[in-house]
Amino acid sequence: MVARISPDSPHYDPTPARPAKAVGPGRPKDLAKRAAILEAAKQMFTRHGFDGTSMDLIASTAGVSKLTVYSHFGDKEALFGEAVKSHCETGLPASLFEARPDIPLRERLLAVARAFYGMITSPEAIAGHRMLCTPQLAGSPLSRLFWEAGPEQVQNSFATLLERRITSGELDIEPNPEAVHRAATQFCVLLKGEPHAMLVFGCGDVSPADIETHLAASVDMFMRAYATDRGGARKSPRNDP
């Protein structure tokens, strides 16, 4: 269910939402316009924040009418959620989570790690993270909307990949939803680590070499915790002969 912002909230957009018109047979919605609206929304939300971005501004930036924006997305909250979802799907395409038993586990996890880190450290993602941590938005329905459209979907997709590797005997994780979800969230937190926090706080960039070292170390730590011999588990250095 999409969270709705109360008219009493400072985040409420007074512009009345337009109900989406039914699309008749042979007249599908214009996918190019939808893509242009999403791109404009991502740019404007990043640049001006949620409160500073109006549907008029998004429509003007996308080169469409405001009615077209409403017909595709209904209201600003729904458009924000779709923009977040689009950003995640672009950075982490579904192909990364497809069943590919021919790809070794570590290689598979590294591919996900690099894509995930690239997605969360993009200028749009960093700006969105900072925006949602402001006192005005922290704890608001918009935060829940963001979580459900972005991080939750990413974690669910990754959990599906883990389930397949559990079934193949490469991962030793309890085969129940809670345990798999926990492992998926642990992996995401490991990948963020100190480099992501430094970017959010504006403490400077981390070199590509250091990022790669961080991601590889995070994958190896995850594998030491959960990979079986079949999955290519690496021994801890202290146990190496």
Query: What is the reported pTM?
Result: 0.78
Q: What is the CATH number of domain 31-83?
A: 1.10.10.60
Fold of the domain built from segment(s) 92-235: Tetracycline Repressor; domain 2 (1.10.357)
Helices (H), 5-140: 31-48, 55-62, 66-73, 76-91, 105-120, 123-132
Supply 147's token pair. Answer: 């979580």
Domain range list for the chain: 31-83, 92-235
CA angle, corner 75, sides to 154 and 140, nearest 5? 60
First CA to last CA across the chain, in angstroms?
54
pLDDT tens, residue by residue, 66-111? 999 999 999 999 999 999 999 999 999 999 999 899 999 999 999 9
What pLDDT band is residue 241 in, cutting at 50, 70 and 90?
A: very low
